[in-house]
Amino acid sequence: MICPKCRSENSDTAAECSVCLYKFRFGHAYNDPAHMMHIDSPPARRRLMFVILIGLAALLLGLIIALSFIRR
């Protein structure tokens, strides 16, 4: 893995950079693009679609309740 601080190459199992002693988190460099969750990944896209769907359902339910009070 490449150290985000000094850009030196380290082993994939290193806990810290061998040059600048930067501490890696969770076995990889912090903000390492290879280990970050991207919106293009299927689980992230599925989660985003679920949140949007729940939000739209809540909005629709609120609209139905509001209209029922207006009609009375």
Q: Where are the domains of the chain?
A: 1-36, 37-71
What pLDDT shows up at residue 24? 79
Among 27-31, 38-42, 61-65, which range has the highest average pLDDT? 61-65
- C-alpha distance across the termini of the chain, in Å: 66
What type of residue sits at position 50? F
pTM (whole model) above 0.75? no
- pLDDT, tens only, 31-61: 555 555 555 566 777 888 999 999 999 999 9
